[in-house]
Copies of this chain bind each other. A is one copy, B any other.
Amino acid sequence: MTVTGRLVEYVRGSRFEDIPADVRHEAKRALLNIVGCALGGADHPAMDITMAALGAYAGPPTAAVLGRRERFDPLLASLLNGISSHVHDYDDTMPGNYIHASSPVASALFAYASQNRVSGADFLHAFILGFEVVARIGNATYPAHYEAGWHSTGSIGVFGAAVAVGRLLGLDAERMTYAIGLAATQAAGIREMFGSMGKSFHPGRSAQSGYMAALLAEKGFTTGRLPLEAPRGFAAVTAASYDLARIVDGLGQDFDLRVNTYKPFPCGIVIHPTIDACIQVRERNGLTADQVEAVELRVAPLVKDLCDKKAISVGLEGKFSIYHAAAIGLGRGKGGLAEFTDEAVADRALQRLREATTAIGDPAVGEDNVVVSVRLKDGRTVGMKLEQSLGNLARPLSDAQLEAKFRDQTTVIPPAETEAAIAACWGVAELDDVRTLIGHCVPGGRA
């Protein structure tokens, strides 16, 4: 059987009861995280621009957008969910291939489930299958695909959206093949978009394109039958080298959700250790910002290279400034969305801390490590060496920390709805209709 054929067979034949309990729980954690990110990004200008540009072309408003009152057709809703959930660079990451798989898959599924009655178990199952398809195609083509310049969250995310929606549509084997084919032939998204709204467009457009692929396939729009593995198929066209076995080996046994990670801070992952360590130094020593005289960071040379921005003026720059990372950790003891706004960057106290910070690139320090040394005005020096950054596989965010991250982002819905949404994520598999969850995430509650 072909690679595409085996994937189709798995996606169609998988039973929810065969998904291991730990994988189901990890999928709920991923959902909780991505819904929080969607709520956190729902009022980003990229969302307003997209609605202003495309709202007039939308079909009947049968679908909600997470975190927004406006309703659109589900294809446009899936685009919008994808933009919001990735725009703060706060969503999940697979460290093995750098793909943020939840956004494209969940963005399409939430749009679909807003228009159509879907049970929570079916929803969670489709999410798991979509996630795994993204992970596997990502693993098979990594690193060549990513290094070529593809933003694989978009260019590979599209497959997850297609099979997840295709599963809910109950596509037969032939049509599921077409869905994968139409995903392959819409696969897109280049890294030149990094640093612009274009980056968040990628999971959005891949959610929308994958959803559309499933709809066209359902009606019999035909494609080539080997979209992944043919000589002019996705892998060969977009990756100089690849290993198709990684798409199919261990299907149903190995789940990449087990190696998914969640960011504690909405910024470049390389400044996470600094934020994390500085928060710990502040907490352990009961510091306040005004006690700090000077800060010295020893970081990996790459980290210094990438994030050597001290004179910054806008929030987006803060996401890639090692100095701002130290400032918010020591000055505020947290690194949430509020620490990466234009206002936070302009905060006098944080500005002083940035200026008081020096960073040294040290080859002896790993990319996931940092050595922080803080000289206090009273003459003392405090500090620490961080070996594992919060959020990585060795120190995953706890369920409680994921909930706290969720709450930190939900300014667009009231606290009671926030708590209900968190509860609905944990209890998703028991929901008769996922619109219960969606309703909590929409101002006004209309799912």
Cα A218 to Cα B220 with chains together (Å): 35
| Residue of B with least CB distance to A83 | B221
- Could you tell me how many residues of chain A have their Cβ less than 8 Å away from some Cβ of chain B? 58
Q: How far is the CB of A27 from chain B (nearest CB, A)?
A: 28
Asked if A193 meets B149 with Cβ closer than 8 Å, knowing A53-B218, A182-B198, A218-B53, the reply is no
Copies in the complex: 2
Cα A54 to Cα B216 with chains together (Å): 7
Q: How far is the CB of A195 from chain B (nearest CB, A)?
A: 7
Chain B residues with CB under 8 A of A216:
49-50, 53-54, 201
Q: Which residues of A206-226 are within 8 A (CB) of B?
A: 212, 215-216, 218-224, 226
Q: Is there an interface contact between A197 and B185, defined as CB atoms closer than 8 Å?
A: no
Q: Does A187 contact B (CB under 8 A)?
A: yes
Q: Is there an interface contact between A232 and B54, defined as CB atoms closer than 8 Å?
A: no
Cα A222 to Cα B45 with chains together (Å): 10
Q: Is there an interface contact between B218 and A198, defined as CB atoms closer than 8 Å?
A: no
Q: Is there an interface contact between B219 and A198, defined as CB atoms closer than 8 Å?
A: no
Q: Is there an interface contact between A192 and B181, defined as CB atoms closer than 8 Å?
A: yes
Asked if A215 meets B53 with Cβ closer than 8 Å, knowing A149-B232, A182-B201, the reply is yes
Q: How far is the CB of A247 from chain B (nearest CB, A)?
A: 16
Asked if A232 meets B191 with Cβ closer than 8 Å, knowing A53-B215, A186-B205, the reply is yes
Q: Is there an interface contact between A195 and B221, defined as CB atoms closer than 8 Å?
A: no
Cα A294 to Cα B431 with chains together (Å): 72
| Residue of B with least CB distance to A223 | B198
Q: Is there an interface contact between B57 and A74, defined as CB atoms closer than 8 Å?
A: yes
Segment of A233-241, A373-381, A383-391 in the binding face:
A233-241
Q: Does A58 contact B (CB under 8 A)?
A: yes
Cα A197 to Cα B224 with chains together (Å): 9
Chain B residues with CB under 8 A of A182:
198, 201
Q: How far is the CB of A214 from chain B (nearest CB, A)?
A: 9
Chain B residues with CB under 8 A of A58:
59, 73
Q: Is there an interface contact between B49 and A220, defined as CB atoms closer than 8 Å?
A: yes
Asked if A215 meets B75 with Cβ closer than 8 Å, knowing A193-B223, A196-B181, A202-B185, the reply is no
Q: Is there an interface contact between B215 and A196, defined as CB atoms closer than 8 Å?
A: no
Q: Does A184 contact B (CB under 8 A)?
A: yes
Q: Does A286 contact B (CB under 8 A)?
A: no
Instruction: Give the B-binding residues of A (Cβ under 8 A).
Output: 46, 49-50, 52-54, 56-60, 73-75, 148-151, 154, 181-182, 184-198, 201-202, 205, 212, 215-216, 218-224, 226-227, 230-234, 236-237
9 contacts between A and B (CB under 8 A): A49-B221, A50-B221, A53-B216, A53-B218, A57-B74, A59-B59, A149-B231, A188-B188, A196-B222
